[in-house]
Structure 1
Amino acid sequence: MIAATALIADDEPLLRESLSRALLQHWPELTVVATARNGREAVELFEIHTPDVVFLDVHMPGVNGVEAARQIGRRAQLVFVTAYEQYAVQAFEQGALDYVVKPVDPARLGDTVERLQERLRQQRAGQSPVAAGLESMIEQLAQRLAQEGSLPVTAPRAAPAASGYLQWIRASVGSTLRLIPVEQILFMRSDEKYTLVVWEEGEALIRTPIRELIEQLDPQNFVQVHRSVVVNLHAISHVTRGPNETADLHLKKRSEVLPVSRSYLHLFRQM
């Protein structure tokens, strides 16, 4: 293993958190020194921290990942993060750059980590330049993005049961389609575009908004406790009252503590 530092830029908080956790598992010696919400922040934070590796979401508001890559150039190993593998493979197959498809596939990320570590070893030994052909590959990607514009997003679909409530949720993890039994789901947490689904055997990101999911879940088992959190009542260990008419939910099988906002505190008056 080789020690290194990294910066992650993505406008989705759940994606930043997911990638950070996955990197920790595959590369314990890697330190994420900063995270950015857009390309402008990524460039500013790069100038401050000068990390060895920069993970850039291709599609970000304002300054996108491609423009940020132009400004960072050869000063770091660049990895693009994209939801559109169909053109990422073609854009990066020459090896000048690397890519990660989101939601993150652990096996694919492992391959990326191995390549990054080898490039850093060679770079530090003075054996190879940083990403030969970098500028031409960035320009090719920029031209392709300009030609295609915004690509359509296909959200993983939730499957209803005969009762009308969801029976399982389909989530794509890399090239694998996971069928997550709803009764095994412990909680779900959402941001603007993604929902993190946490179940007994793992977690996955889907593009179905939490407001759509809550309407399809059995209210006897699942309740919304915050505008961004839905929890399985059977997964709750205990509730701790907080200040200003709020509370914290503690789970039986996970270490996360989930917030209960004032609007939903009445659900736990008797607990």
Structure 2
Amino acid sequence: MFVTAYNQYALDAFDAAAVDYLLKPVDATRLARTIDRLCVRLSRAPTDAMPGARMQAHLQRLLCQLEQITRSTAPENRAQASDQSPPLRYLRASSGSDIRIVPVEDVLYFEAADKYVVVATRTGELLIRMSLKELVAQLDPARFWQVHRSTVVNVDKVESASVSALGKTSIKLRGHDGAIAVSKQYAHMFRQM
């Protein structure tokens, strides 16, 4: 099983008899399916083709660890965690010397800028003094998707995605004139299903 941020090595992985090739960020549901597939493959393998008992026990422990990680990171389990606060609903952002209260649902995208995060809405840009990493931890992951190391978009506002002749992905947001660049690491989220 391969887990990587690079999709160009998938064929090599399958040539090496990989059970699956997962792209980061790894989806918990997809990881669970891969673990199930690996368990089935291990249970069907003839005993003479299996590694020694020690290796078998080691593989079983690794599978158990992967299953625990999958269960603990599944969206439904994250939401049930008692120490997990509900997603952020409102932001206090500055516009010059004014502080505005902005409903998170009105945000088009967030972009890291030095010690600040730019909050882009239909009516303009505001600033919050917080790192993008801190902000992302407070947002609803079903609504806000990271598309670049410095950019998080409100998926409800995505109008379209396009790929240039050079293979670069960008998205167009409703209420925003420019295109938002999507890094290779996150481009898979906008490919046709």
Give TM-score, length-normalised by structure 1.
0.38
Whether the 8 Å CA contact 1:245–1:261 is kept in 2: the answer is no
Output the CA distance in 2 between the equivalents of 1:213 and 1:233.
Answer: 16
CA distance in 2, matches of 1:201, 1:177: 15
Counterpart of 2:89, as a letter, is Q
> What RMSD over aligned residues (CA atoms) do the two structures have, in Å?
1.9
Aligned counterpart, 1:269:
191
- Alignment identity in percent? 40
Paired position in structure 2 for 1:246: 168
| Gap runs ≥5 in structure 2 | 1-83
1:222 aligns with 2:144: yes
Match of 1:232 in 2: 154
**Is the aligned partner of 1:203 residue 2:92?**
no
Shift of 1:244: 5.7
CA distance in 2, matches of 1:199, 1:163: 25
Q: If the length of structure 2 is used for normalisation, what is the TM-score? A: 0.52
Q: Which residue of 2 aligns with 1:168?
A: 90
Runs of 4+ in 1 over 4 A off after TM superposition: none
Partner SS for 1:171: strand
AA at the equivalent of 1:217: L
Cα distance in 2 for residues equivalent to 1:173 and 1:238: 29
**Counterparts of 2:146 and 2:130, CA distance in 1:** 16
- 1:217 aligned counterpart, secondary structure: coil
Task: Report SS of the residue matched to 1:186.
Answer: strand
Measure the CA separation in 2 of the matches of 1:247 and 1:183.
24
The 1:168/1:248 distance shift into structure 2, 3 A limit, reads same
Whether contact under 8 Å (1:226, 1:261) holds in the other structure is: yes
Map 1:93-108; keep pairs closer than 5 Å: none
> Which residue in the other structure is 2:106 paired with?
184
CA, structure 1 residues 181+239, in 2 after alignment: closer, same or farther (shift >3 Å)?
A: same
| 1:257 CA displacement | 0.7
Checking the alignment, whether the CA contact within 8 Å between 1:245 and 1:262 is kept in structure 2 is no
Separation of aligned partners in 1, 2:111 and 2:148: 9
Given residue 102 of structure 2, which amino acid in structure 1 is its aligned partner?
A: I
Please state how far the C-alpha of 1:176 moved relative to its aligned partner.
2.0
